[in-house]
């Protein structure tokens, strides 16, 4: 499921997962951590309830960092947009503007103009891309207010995309991520995920996300059920193995947690650094 590549829950273990597991995993977390269990981040601290930044404040601050020649180019294109009265022609100009910002390394502003163009064109594909683009930016970290703005923009794009294609599961998963991570409305994301699992009880990305949230909320029995559902289909799913071990550890069953970590260690035996991390965690449980 390609959606799993952009779904993120900001916990430190996710970074370890990407570095060592590769393949069908989630993108890197915002913060690094040496521990082998979820630590600080959006999931462990709860949803981002910070008031979103305004685009005006973001673009004004970013404009100050531009070289004069680039700033002049941006101003020229903005004036061109201001003079336009035909919205059908604006999308291509927004794309031109986004490329100027992107070449300058200001991806937040570039993403905004990509989204503006996608919304004007009302293209499912482009709206989904724009929404995922904001989710990707959230992984890079930043101030809570900017992260909240990025989540808000992601949700806006993905909601419009779902109106065009309401059955697109990947878009639903992305929308759930935006709600959970940055909008202060995590239950709206949870309801989307539960809707997916009602239709497809064995859905791997949705169960993975719900299982991790169950760990965060201390509902370890529910988490166990989610991860076991995944492992019945993919016995070597490394993320599910790790989080199942975490759930059993939360339940106080250290023996089962160690057994699962030993299985995980066998699957990543070719990576000595990660194997060492697992050994350290196993030893801490003994």
Mean pLDDT, the chain, rounded, equals 84
Report yes or no on 15 lying in a domain: no
The pLDDT value given to residue 88 = 83
CA distance 246 to 236: 16
Share of the chain above pLDDT 90, in %: 70
pLDDT confidence bin for 270, thresholds 50/70/90:
confident
Q: Which domain holds residue 150?
A: 52-183
Tell me the CATH number at 93.
1.25.40.10
Nearby residues of 106 by Cβ (< 8 Å), 6 or more positions away: 62, 65, 66
CB 34 within 8 A of CB 54: no
Longest dimension (CA), the chain: 70
Report yes or no on 79 lying in a domain: yes
Asked which of 4-8, 201-205, 209-213, 255-259 is least confident by mean pLDDT, the reply is 4-8
Report yes or no on 103 lying in a domain: yes
> Would you give the DSSP letter of residue 204?
H
Report yes or no on 160 lying in a domain: yes
The pLDDT value given to residue 49 = 64
With vertex at residue 35, the alpha carbon angle to CA 33 and CA 37, rounded to the nearest 5 degrees, is: 110
- Global pTM exceeds 0.85: no
CB 94 within 8 A of CB 114: yes
Report yes or no on 269 lying in a domain: no
Q: What is the mean pLDDT of residues 155-180?
A: 95
> How many residues are there in the chain?
286
What domain count does the chain have? 1
Report yes or no on 95 lying in a domain: yes
| Residue 29, both tokens | 């977390």
CA distance 137 to 10: 12
Cα R_g (the chain), whole angstroms: 21
Report yes or no on 62 lying in a domain: yes
Q: What is the pLDDT of residues 90-136, one digit of tens each?
A: 999 999 999 999 999 999 999 999 999 999 999 999 999 999 999 99
The pLDDT value given to residue 48 = 59
Report yes or no on 60 lying in a domain: yes
């Amino acid at each position: 499921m390609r959606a799993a590549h952009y779904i993120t829950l900001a916990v430190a273990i996710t970074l370890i997962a990407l570095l060592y597991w590769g393949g069908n995993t989630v993108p890197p977390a915002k913060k690094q951590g040496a521990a082998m269990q979820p630590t600080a981040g959006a999931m462990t601290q709860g949803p981002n309830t910070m008031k979103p930044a305004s685009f005006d404040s973001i673009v004004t601050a970013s404009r100050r960092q531009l070289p004069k020649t680039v700033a002049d180019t941006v101003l020229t294109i903005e004036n061109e947009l201001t003079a336009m009265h035909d919205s059908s022609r604006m999308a291509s100009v927004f794309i031109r503007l986004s490329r100027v910002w992107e070449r300058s390394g200001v991806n937040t502003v570039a993403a905004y103009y990509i989204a503006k163009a996608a919304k004007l064109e009302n293209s499912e594909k482009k709206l989904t891309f724009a929404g995922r683009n904001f989710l990707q930016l959230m992984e890079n970290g930043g101030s809570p207010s900017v992260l909240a703005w990025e989540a808000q923009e992601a949700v806006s794009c993905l909601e419009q995309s779902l109106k065009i294609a309401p059955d697109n599961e990947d878009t639903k998963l992305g929308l759930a991520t935006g709600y959970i991570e940055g909008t202060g409305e995590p239950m709206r994301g949870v309801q989307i995920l539960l809707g997916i699992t009602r239709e497809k009880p064995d859905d791997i990305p949705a169960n993975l996300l719900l299982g991790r949230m169950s760990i965060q909320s201390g509902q370890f029995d529910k988490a166990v059920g989610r991860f076991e559902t995944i492992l019945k289909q993919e016995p070597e799913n490394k993320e599910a193995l790790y989080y199942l071990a975490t759930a059993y550890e939360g339940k106080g069953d250290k023996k089962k947690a160690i057994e699962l970590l030993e299985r995980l260690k066998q699957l990543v035996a070719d990576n000595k650094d990660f194997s060492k991390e697992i050994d350290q965690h196993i030893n801490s449980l003994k």
